[in-house]
Amino acid sequence: MRALVILIVVAAIALIAGDRIAVVLAQNEIGRRIAAEYALGRDPEVTIGGFPFLTQAAGGRYETVDIRADEYSDRDVTVRDLRLTLTDVTAPLADLVAGDTSTLVAAGATAEAVVPYETVRRYADEGVRELSDSPEGLRVTGSFRVDGIPFPVPATIVFAMAPTDGGIELTPVSVQAAVGGPAVPLSALSRGLAFTIPLQDLPLGARITAIRPAADGLHVTAAATDVRFAELP
């Protein structure tokens, strides 16, 4: 009986070890493919969810695949803390282990990333001094030129943010002049201070769906459906 118990324990350990080895191989191949396709400085961290992995692999279907990268650049815009989550993923294990991720398909994907404020500042008016978050939107403080006023006017402006075909569009929605400064009409600011950050999507074709300001930058959320690695740009 004791020998049988030991045999069962050893077999279980071997199965678990084999399971972990297989999942690491698959994760590494997905990471290499993502890094190559999007010119990342290093392979992202990939985690295939669900346990045991081999049970999922036998059916070629995986609950989730999480991908994390420190940075990602698109159209001269660099984002930080990129996280992609693929759901209902199908891919033959033999292909993944052999280094072929072209057969990987995900029913859906969500993405999150941070556009740091130093990037936002590159596209904003040169008079911007400070960027910060607020319940109303992105709060921008600085000295701005306004139609009909021959000198920069100190003011705090709140911008609304929206995804567009051209990227993240920021439009002034309210303005508060500095104490003692001249009143500034919002219409005059809207014409001259609206700007666009040319970030249209995130990896895997995920289109931006929401933007919110935070202490470290603009947090963007994106989504995609029917993601096929064979069709990656």
Dump pLDDT digits (tens) for 6-41: 333 333 333 344 455 666 666 777 777 777 766 676
Q: Count of domains in the chain?
A: 2
φ, ψ of residue 207 in degrees (nearest 5): -85, 140
Q: How many CA atoms lie within 13 A of 135 on its CB side?
A: 0
User: What is the sign of the dihedral through the CA atoms of 38, 43, 48 and 54?
Assistant: positive
- The verdict on 134 and 78 lying in the same domain is no
pLDDT greater at residue 20 or residue 166: 166
Share of the chain above pLDDT 70, in %: 70
Amino acid of residue 84 = L
What b/e readout covers 50-78, taking b as 16+ CB neighbours within 10 angstroms?
eeebbebbeebebeebebebeebebeebe
- The verdict on 11 and 72 lying in the same domain is yes
- The verdict on 136 and 104 lying in the same domain is no
- The verdict on 109 and 56 lying in the same domain is yes
**90 occurs within a structural domain:** yes
Q: Distance between CA atoms of 2 and 143, rounded to whole angstroms?
A: 81
Predicted pLDDT of residue 98: 66
- The verdict on 88 and 131 lying in the same domain is no
- The verdict on 83 and 136 lying in the same domain is no
**145 occurs within a structural domain:** yes
For residue 198, the SS3 value is coil
Looking at 152-156, 167-171, 187-191, which range is the least confident one? 187-191
Domain range for 38: 2-115+224-231
Tens digit of each residue's pLDDT (9 = 90 or more) over 60-78 = 777 888 888 888 887 788 8
Neighbours of 22 (CB within 10 A): 18
- The verdict on 81 and 131 lying in the same domain is no
- The verdict on 13 and 79 lying in the same domain is yes
* Continuous segment of H or E residues that includes residue 19: helix 2-37
**219 occurs within a structural domain:** no
